[in-house]
Amino acid sequence: MEKQANTLEGEALQYEALPLPKLPAASIAISVDPEMLEDRFIYLMISDGIQNAVDLHIRAMICIELASPVVILGAGPIQ
């Protein structure tokens, strides 16, 4: 695959209007605890779900209130 990449790069250099991107590093050392990454992902998914549920329920209550006035303890419809 490197041979093919080198061939393509050589052909691309023939055309001056075609800029080549910088090459990525051969290897990157990252020290990440996979368990921490999983816990954070799960937390964010639950948090997003809760926020979306609250938003959905508030919107539903607004729609219900606008569609039909609610009588609260005999005070009459909400204006």
pLDDT of residue 46: 94
* Structure tokens belonging to residue 41: 């992902």
Determine, yes or no, domain membership for 25.
no
Q: Does some domain include residue 37?
A: yes
pLDDT in tens, 26-78: 888 877 777 777 888 889 999 999 999 999 998 888 887 777 655 555 555 55
Q: Is residue 21 part of a domain?
A: no
State the Cα angle at 25 between 20 and 30, rounded to 5°. 145
Domain containing 56 equals 30-69
pLDDT at 23 over 90: no
Residue 10 banded pLDDT, cuts 50, 70, 90: confident
Count of structural domains within the chain:
1
